[in-house]
Amino acid sequence: MRQTWRWFGPADTTGIDDMVQAGVEGVVSALHHVPSGAVWTAEEIARRQDEVRRHGDGSASNLEWEVVESLPVSEAIKKQRGEWREHVAAYRESLENLAAAGIETICYNFMPVLDWTRTDLAWRLPHGGTCMRFDYFDFVAFDLFILERDRAKTDYPEDVVGEAERRFRAMTTVMQSTLAINVTCGLPGAADHMTTKDVRAHLAEYDSIDAQRLRRHYIDFLSEVVPTAEKHGLRLCCHPDDPPFPLLGLPRVMSTEDDYRKVMDAVDSPANGITLCAGSLGARPDNDLPGMMSRLGDRVHFLHLRNVKREGDGIGDSFHEAEHLGGDVDMVALIAEVLKEEARRKANGRTDHQIPMRPDHGQHILDDLKRQSQPGYPTVGRLRGLAELRGVAKALGHARLGIDHE
Ligand code: DNO
């Protein structure tokens, strides 16, 4: 596995110098300031590459920008409305510019309206640190009483509405507005921030788009951009829905193995691949992560190694972000499958036999509690995760265990 690290650019409180000390091998970044639908120009890409290549004092970092996360797919493309064709053309142009700059792995997602969704960005853990959490009843309270979505009342059973109402009434106004901010926090570092009002307006536009239609739009998009990716030797990789179940009555189409299979088969090309995010997919008890890696592995171009602790057995129940080796995802078994896939690729002469992985999210611990960072992206918590994951890979890849590990 190639050990990478997400960097939000010069404003990130974890700098390039920190990454070098953490033993990071490659950088994951994006041009967060460019709005979805616009072209990533060669100049802007080159600027970010240059920033990655330098330490704070200007000396060489020996790091490269290796993975894009994310090249966002605009809402217009997802809905096939307005300027969506222009946005697809811009997407192709951005891919061409990235290819010319030598960046081959491009992550994106196809979640309507909201990216990742949590109700608490700093949930206190017994050890004194914090993590992100999704609380089902708080989320329902947001939907019913803050967003006041038209159909919300009929979407939930009566007892759930009752409990959500009790929760909401017990919240102070500050707690209510914090909940609204947390839920709409969406993509960290993105140019497109949303208010509750924006969410309402977007939801209305999805009234006539069900999962089947959204999947069709997604396949249409892939049919347009995968040929460009193929031509330039790029690997597109779709991040799963986070959490992997429908929210706010919106359709979700990348939540399960079956969802991935449908889309991989519809546009059957190595350039159409997967970001296997263990934490996102792991929030659902019926997603078998090591099994998915073993069955879909040849299309996995990027790995987010993160863990979650599910707080119930149902699809849609509360969960929180656990330590990388804690939680419900069998991380050791998953990494073992990754190493097997890498060995298969090597034997087949694939140049992409080393799969980039990043320690996804981290609990905020030690100095993280004193310094500001993007929610889920603390320095020490991620460093701890990287160290643990690296240890597992090293141990499993030990020659005596017979897995050829790069
Ligand atoms: C959250 C991230 C996601 C991810 C996008 C990819 O921390 O994993 O925001 O970057 O969904 O498009």
Catalytic residue chosen out of the listed positions 239, 320, 324, 405: 239
Output 211-215 pairs: Cβ under 8 A, ≥24 positions apart: 211/246, 211/251, 211/252, 211/253, 213/251, 214/78, 214/110, 214/112, 214/251, 214/253, 215/253, 215/262, 215/263
Catalytic residue chosen out of the listed positions 277, 324, 328, 405: 277
What is 2-116+209-315+323-401's CATH topology? Answer: TIM Barrel (3.20.20)
CA–centroid distance, 314 to ligand 1, in Å, is 24
pLDDT score of 114: 87
Give me 358's structure tokens: 């990043």
Q: What is the pLDDT of residues 33-77, one digit of tens each?
A: 999 999 999 999 999 999 999 999 999 999 999 999 999 999 999
Give me 361's structure tokens: 């999210």
- The mean-pLDDT minimum among 35-44, 320-329, 361-370, 392-401 falls in 392-401
The residues spanned by each domain of the chain are 2-116+209-315+323-401
pLDDT for 188 beyond 70: no
Catalytic residue chosen out of the listed positions 304, 320, 364, 405: 304
| Average of per-residue pLDDT values in the chain | 95
- Asked if residue 70 has its Cβ within 6 Å of ligand 1, the reply is yes
Known catalytic membership, residue 313: no
Contacts of 11 (CB under 8 A, 6+ apart): none
Q: What is the pLDDT of residues 85-113, one digit of tens each?
A: 999 999 999 999 999 999 999 999 999 99
Catalytic residue chosen out of the listed positions 18, 242, 360, 368: 360
CA dist 365 to 6, 254, 320, Å?
18, 31, 15
Known catalytic membership, residue 239: yes
pLDDT score of 175: 96
Q: With bands split at pLDDT 50, 70 and 90, how would you rate the model's confidence at 190?
A: low
Ligand 1 pocket: which of 236, 242, 307 to mutate (most atoms <8 Å of CB)? 242
- Asked if residue 116 has its Cβ within 6 Å of ligand 1, the reply is yes
Known catalytic membership, residue 377: yes
pLDDT score of 404: 58
pLDDT for 189 beyond 60: no
pLDDT for 124 beyond 60: yes
CA–centroid distance, 282 to ligand 1, in Å, is 15
pLDDT score of 185: 81
pLDDT for 186 beyond 90: no
Closest CA to 67 of 7, 132, 120: 7
More confident residue, 189 or 294: 294
Nearest protein Cα to ligand 1, atom 12: 108
pLDDT score of 195: 83
Closest CA to 130 of 143, 138, 139, 121: 121
Catalytic residue chosen out of the listed positions 202, 320, 361, 364: 361
pLDDT score of 405: 52
Q: Are 97 and 44 in contact (CB under 8 A)?
A: no
pLDDT for 276 beyond 90: yes
Closest CA to 257 of 269, 241, 236, 234: 241
CA–centroid distance, 208 to ligand 1, in Å, is 26
- Asked if residue 115 has its Cβ within 6 Å of ligand 1, the reply is yes
**In angstroms, rounded to a whole number, what is the distance separating the alpha carbons of residues 219 and 213?**
10
Known catalytic membership, residue 32: no
**In angstroms, rounded to a whole number, what is the distance separating the alpha carbons of residues 325 and 305?**
10
CA–centroid distance, 110 to ligand 1, in Å, is 11
Arithmetic mean of pLDDT, 115-130: 96
Known catalytic membership, residue 288: no
**In angstroms, rounded to a whole number, what is the distance separating the alpha carbons of residues 245 and 347?**
37
**In angstroms, rounded to a whole number, what is the distance separating the alpha carbons of residues 364 and 320?**
13
Is the pTM here over 0.85, yes or no?
yes
pLDDT score of 74: 95
Q: What is the pLDDT of residues 347-385, one digit of tens each?
A: 999 999 999 999 999 999 999 999 888 899 999 999 999
More confident residue, 405 or 282: 282
Known catalytic membership, residue 301: no
Ligand 1 pocket: which of 105, 131, 239, 255 to mutate (most atoms <8 Å of CB)? 239
Share of the chain above pLDDT 90, in %: 90
| Cis-peptide into 243, omega within 30 deg | yes
Q: What is the pLDDT of residues 7-24, one digit of tens each?
A: 999 999 999 999 999 999
Output 218-224 pairs: Cβ under 8 A, ≥24 positions apart: 218/78, 218/110, 218/253, 218/263, 219/263, 219/266, 219/267, 220/80, 221/73, 221/77, 221/88, 221/110, 222/263, 222/266, 222/267, 222/272, 223/267, 224/88, 224/91, 224/92
